[in-house]
Amino acid sequence: MATPKTRRVWKAKVKSGCGTCKSRKVKCDEGRPICRRCSLTGRFCEGYGIWGGGNTSSTPKCPLTAGSDDLQIISRTLASIPLLASSVEENGYFEWFRSRAARKLPGTFFSDFWRTLLVQATVQEPAVLHAVLALSAAHKRGPAEAHLTEKSGTVMDSQERFMLQQYVKAIGYLQPHFSAKDRASSRVALITCFVFICLDFLRSHFESAQVHLQNGLRILGETHLLSDKDEEVFYLKPDLEAADIWTVEAFSRLHLQVELLQHMHPHPCFILQPSPRDSPPPDFHTFNEAWQSLHRLFNEIFHLTHLSRRQPPSHLPHRQHQIQTALAHWLTTFQTRLPAPEPPIPTSKHRFHTLLLAYHTLATLLALTSLDPDNETLPDRHTPHFTHLLAQLTHLWSLSASDPSSGLLARRGIAGPLRDGVGVVDMGWLPLLFHVAVRCRVHRLRRQALGLMGAAVHREGIWDSGIVEAVAGKVVEVEEGGFYEGEGDGAVLPEERRLSGVEVVLLGAPVGVVVVFCRRRGVGRVVLARYDVCRKVWVDNHF
């Protein structure tokens, strides 16, 4: 007797849905921002590509940096989506990005842009992939080697050749997106532009990095993610998708470090802020959220400083008071929600906690001097804040020095200059030390700040430790010029000896010359000196 044939159950192929359901080959309900199937089963929802969705508010907020949870998300996401790489060599550099660069480059505070959006775009968009492969090659090669090779004119090695090939490929794949000018194409262009900025930072191409940053900000304005210009402030429009919010935040963080470098001299103002209807969050629960809240306050301080330089500050004290109140509220919330970790064993939490408090101290200092930013005697009234800031930075150094794996700092002679783990694209302590050394006129404090700069060799985005140490040291040398030899450390530096409007211009690709402009009482704006980066010497001294 014939056995009845088993009827085969037919299942429709999964052609749409989130990345997680696609990889599992199950039907997705395509809920936004995450699908219900992933939510109910506790899985990480990879979303629907760079066009939105995925675990945003439903995902546990990243409390620190690129910790184990984030790296598991990156590894799982990259492993579950087919890669567009077409050769063994490309796959090798992609693996370096996944295992090394993506963990090291974001720096102290890991963002959703790095954790989610860049990951999705890398495995789905050829332009982003080839830009990331170029970045990976530059990171693997090491910025110090790249700088020496480019300056000496020696024949490029295989890593440099691969990096340039990938860069050209990325540009080629970008062309259709520039022509399309729709929302999805603009996102691809912005993400690729961000990667190009990171690549320029690693290669010491600081001039082109700033050009790419300005282009990215221009694209943000053209894509209508930002509202119309209100004076010099651009507001993020409400009700945007997570991908747009993360992209604006990523560019804003890059813009912040450039603003801190330019803060001491008058310059055009471009400020990114949340929607004017959104007040700064009254509460936060993670270090990332605390940093984002403080970031907004920095932007308000920059804008107030810019307005004070353009017009009499008679109607601006109220805005200054509002900022100071917000800073006080931030500190209270921080101490309540994120209290100092318990000693004695230093952890990443100790470092991040201290670094955030140090940036709050700098923000407080900048707010206090925002109505008269070019008055170089005004900082003298706030010496206790400089003292407190330097104590925080000294504590940060001790925490990092006791944990060599931290990657935040590297002792001179132990880690080579700008090697893997000591070059990041976000800010650390260099902007803080620079502001102490240049603006504080207490001899002991500024010399201590210079000593901390010289104790580590690393780079934080556009902030190169060797360059900022040289510039700050030159400013101190010119201002003091033997003044304390017969006066003692407690003497007050005369106003006529002080420099104002210090401006640092980075020239060359890679940077070869640093030009420092300044103003001095009775002299006006002049070139202070030029610094030869390769020879590490000052030339054309004007003082």
Tell me the two tokens of residue 176: 């259709």
Structural contact between residues 404 and 331, judged by C-beta atoms closer than 8 angstroms:
no
Residue 229 has what pLDDT? 55
Kindly indicate the confidence band of residue 20, based on its pLDDT and cuts at 50, 70 and 90.
confident
Summarised one tens digit per residue, pLDDT across range 470-487 is: 999 999 999 998 888 877
- pLDDT over threshold 80, residue 390: yes
Tell me the two tokens of residue 253: 């963080």
Residue 35 has what pLDDT? 75
Residue 442 has what pLDDT? 93
Name the residue among 341, 349, 346, 445 with its Cα closest to residue 393: 445
Averaged pLDDT, 95-123? 83
**Residue 250 neighbours by CB under 8 Å, 6+ apart:** 111, 113, 114, 194
- pLDDT over threshold 60, residue 61: no
Residue 194 has what pLDDT? 94
Averaged pLDDT, 398-409? 62
Kindly indicate the confidence band of residue 419, based on its pLDDT and cuts at 50, 70 and 90.
very low
Structural contact between residues 510 and 145, judged by C-beta atoms closer than 8 angstroms:
no
- pLDDT over threshold 50, residue 372: yes
- pLDDT over threshold 60, residue 79: no
Structural contact between residues 457 and 466, judged by C-beta atoms closer than 8 angstroms:
yes
Residue 219 has what pLDDT? 82
- pLDDT over threshold 60, residue 112: yes
Phi/psi of residue 516, nearest 5 degrees: -110, 120
The fold of the 13-45 domain, in CATH, is CD2-Gal4 (4.10.240)
Q: Distance between CA atoms of 283 and 305, rounded to whole angstroms?
A: 26
Question: Lowest-pLDDT range, 147-151, 375-379, 400-404, 433-437?
Answer: 147-151
Kindly indicate the confidence band of residue 340, based on its pLDDT and cuts at 50, 70 and 90.
confident
Kindly indicate the confidence band of residue 66, based on its pLDDT and cuts at 50, 70 and 90.
very low
Residue 454 has what pLDDT? 85
Name the residue among 28, 105, 41, 115 with its Cα closest to residue 72: 115
Kindly indicate the confidence band of residue 528, based on its pLDDT and cuts at 50, 70 and 90.
very high
Kindly indicate the confidence band of residue 73, based on its pLDDT and cuts at 50, 70 and 90.
very low
Name the residue among 201, 294, 210 with its Cα closest to residue 258: 210
Averaged pLDDT, 8-33? 66
Kindly indicate the confidence band of residue 48, based on its pLDDT and cuts at 50, 70 and 90.
low
| Average predicted confidence (pLDDT) for the chain | 79
- Which of the listed ranges 6-15, 30-39, 68-77, 400-409 does the model predict with the highest average pLDDT? 30-39
Residue 414 has what pLDDT? 27
Tell me the two tokens of residue 386: 């400089």
DSSP state of 204: T
Summarised one tens digit per residue, pLDDT across range 299-320 is: 889 989 998 988 776 789 999 9
- Which of the listed ranges 8-17, 52-61, 104-113, 426-435 does the model predict with the highest average pLDDT? 426-435
Q: Give the E-state strand segments of 274-381 in sequence order.
A: none
Name the pTM for this structure. 0.82
Phi/psi of residue 528, nearest 5 degrees: -70, -50
- pLDDT over threshold 70, residue 429: yes
Structural contact between residues 192 and 453, judged by C-beta atoms closer than 8 angstroms:
no
pLDDT more than 90, % of the chain: 37
Residue 50 has what pLDDT? 54
Summarised one tens digit per residue, pLDDT across range 225-238 is: 666 555 567 777 76
Question: Lowest-pLDDT range, 168-177, 268-277, 354-363, 435-444?
Answer: 268-277
**Residue 17 neighbours by CB under 8 Å, 6+ apart:** 27, 28, 30, 35, 48
Residue 224 has what pLDDT? 63
3-state DSSP call for residue 114?
helix
Residue 216 has what pLDDT? 87
Q: Distance between CA atoms of 157 and 402, rounded to whole angstroms?
A: 36
Averaged pLDDT, 271-292? 72
Q: Distance between CA atoms of 147 and 463, rounded to whole angstroms?
A: 15
Residue 282 has what pLDDT? 59
Summarised one tens digit per residue, pLDDT across range 179-218 is: 777 788 888 999 999 999 999 999 999 999 999 998 888 8
Residue 393 has what pLDDT? 94
Kindly indicate the confidence band of residue 524, based on its pLDDT and cuts at 50, 70 and 90.
confident
> 42: how many CB neighbours lie within 10 A of its CB?
6
- pLDDT over threshold 70, residue 468: yes
Averaged pLDDT, 423-446? 92
Q: Distance between CA atoms of 520 and 527, rounded to whole angstroms?
A: 11
Residue-range domain boundaries for the chain: 13-45, 225-481+493-539
- pLDDT over threshold 90, residue 369: yes
Residue 128 has what pLDDT? 93
pLDDT more than 70, % of the chain: 76
Q: Can you count the helices (H) and strands (E) in the chain?
A: 20, 9
